[in-house]
Amino acid sequence: MGLWGNKFYWFYERKLGCDSLPQKTHGEIPTKHTHEHVEFGEGFWLIEEKNRLQPVSLHDMVITLGKGGLGDRDYFTRNLNVCCQQRYMWPENCNSALSNSESLREDHRKQMELEEARKAGLAPAEVDEDGKEINPHIPQYMSSAPWYLNAERPSLKHQRKWKSDPNYTKSWYDRGAKIFQADKYRKGACENCGAMTHTTKACMERPRKLGAKWTSKNIAPDEKVETFELDYDGKRDRWNGYDAASYAHVIERYEARDDARRKFLKDQQLKKLEEKNNNQNGEDGASDDEDNEDDLKVDEAKVDESKQMDFAKVEKRVRTTGGGSTGTVRNLRIREDTAKYLLNLDVNSAHYDPKTRSMREDPLPDMDPNEKFYAGDNQNRVSGQALEFKQLNIHAWEAFDKGTDVHMQAAPSQAELLYKNYKVNKEKLKYQVKETIMEKYGNAAAEEALPKELLLGQSEREVEYDRAGRVIKGQEMALPKSKYEEDVYINNHTSVWGSWWKDHQWGYKCCRQFIRNSYCTGSAGIEAAEAAADLMKANIARKEAAEVPWSDTIYYESEMPAPTEQKQLATWGTDIPDDLILDQEKLADALKKEDERRREERDERKRKYNVKWNDEVTAEHMEAYRMKKIHHDDPMKDFLN
């Protein structure tokens, strides 16, 4: 194979760590070479791998020698090592290579299983250098540190913020402050003034004829030099270091200007008054008086205009993208007026948009409209020319839909003229219709004047009510008309339904029937009903007599029950007698029962299961009901307990 062929084979065997390689080749390594590289022949190596042969092409293996040529052994050795690192130069039948690959594969499999267990919570999380747990769900490209950090243990330090935050404060340079004044010149100080904090070129003092370097006299003190580490906001803070007390000079300058203006205007007025007094001519004096009065009015207007200078002030917007100005904005509020957002401090009142300075709703809706200065921005949309412009647009749309060639944006003058003609024609048509109706029917409203009593709607009649709300004196209130039909007689009845009441049932009074759709039977029906009732009572008495023995029905005179006096109950809206005397204890008991009944009405869950109701209503119960009753029209009902 030649000298260099044997050398190559030896290096190849040593690099791969193989015991021996079979020397089966189809050709030798050629001796010719170029300046750039050496190529092997068309043969191939046969490398044993367990029970099969794997051909490794020698065309792919190119040993780059560079410009050193084939004779340089260092180039040959270096480039051979590079070629042996390629994937096609690693034989899989080598014992060491096979064992290394299997161990790497097994380690990788175990690592993947451990990661899955950590994600599932079956294994403890990985711990970094500081003892902190690493979230197993963090992706590998974020948790793995770059190779140039030489990280020996897993950590997330490479993801943490490595720049320290500057301590940004509102402090600023102490302008003009001095810290130390030397007695003699120091080396490295300013040659002009002798201060150490700046150079000669940056010295702000007057150039001396002989500098402090040569005289060592009048050494200037060192300035206080401060360094601030500002963050992003601190570098762009326009008001950092601003002294608010310095604005007092601006106020003084404006006040001095206003005082000078007022003084000048007052001097002008005094001069004109002196000229008026010195003028002796009557006619000229009369004309001059008018001129002077006009001039004085003009001067007063000037004074008022100077007071309201802020109304038409034009300001530039500086808070824009890139720091530029994008137009102007006018301040349309006089300073003496109350701001919109201060009219109503309730958070649930009208919304105020600070960006557009708009408040659409009315901040004080309950206030008298005659006393309100501001009623919301929406008021401008439904009043004045805004409403007219809206009606003009609507008219243009409706006219276009009906076939008229009109467009508000394309021809606004034409649309406005058409709208004016439409309004004139509409008024003419309404006037013609009105005249036609008046000619046909007359104008009764204009001919006959209404009496003053009806116009004013007042009366001096006194009406007195009792505690139950009934009218005692004066005219009774007219009952409202019912929504149901009144005085309608059906089925030959002579009275309406509900005119008869008996045994908790409503009926007709003419025939005393309780069926709504029944036919009237008149007095014959009443007699038949009474006869049926008498017959039923007789049958009941006969049945009781048949069931009870006669001996049990015999009473002695001493055992006869005393006849009970039937009490006339003040129920169902009956009048209260004048001689009625109420028992105060029963009345107090009735008031307590009325309170309990009202509480049960509010919450029926407190009512017991077995309740024995007492339907008997006494005068004390009615009095308690009247005392607790609340009239909805009573203006003092909110003050009742």
Mean pLDDT within 577-581: 71
Is residue 65 over pLDDT 60? no
- Say whether pLDDT at 351 is over 90: yes
Write down the pLDDT at residue 474: 73
Is the CB of residue 193 less than 8 Å from the CB of residue 205?
yes
* Between 603 and 259, the higher pLDDT residue: 259
pLDDT of residue 39: 38
**What confidence tens digit (pLDDT) does each residue in 316-331 have?**
444 444 444 444 445 5
What's the confidence (pLDDT) of residue 609?
A: 58
Higher pLDDT, 611 or 101: 101
Q: Tell me what pLDDT residue 308 has.
A: 47
Check residue 168 and give its pLDDT. Answer: 61
* Mean per-residue pLDDT of the chain: 74
pLDDT value, residue 624:
86
pLDDT recorded at residue 482: 75
Between 463 and 139, the more confident residue is 139
What would the mean pLDDT of 37-52 be, rounded to a whole number?
36
Higher pLDDT, 43 or 464: 464
End-to-end Cα separation, the chain, in angstroms = 126
Kindly indicate the confidence band of residue 483, based on its pLDDT and cuts at 50, 70 and 90: confident
Q: CA 303 → CA 242, 260, 261, distances in Å?
A: 34, 12, 9
| Dihedral class, residue 522 (left if φ above 0, else alpha if ψ from -120 to 50, else beta) | left
Give the whole-angstrom CA distance, residue 345 versus residue 349. 8
CA pair distance 359, 351, nearest whole angstrom? 6
The residue assigned the tokens 């901040």 is 363
Q: What pLDDT does 19 receive? A: 41
88-96: average pLDDT? 45
- The neighbouring-strand residues paired with 571 are none
DSSP codes joined into one string, 558-591: TTSPPPPPPP----TTPPPPTT----HHHHHHHH
Q: 10 Å Cβ neighbour count for 126?
A: 18
Give the highest mean pLDDT range of 72-81, 161-170, 348-357. Answer: 348-357
| Predicted confidence (pLDDT) at residue 540 exceeds the cutoff of 50 | yes
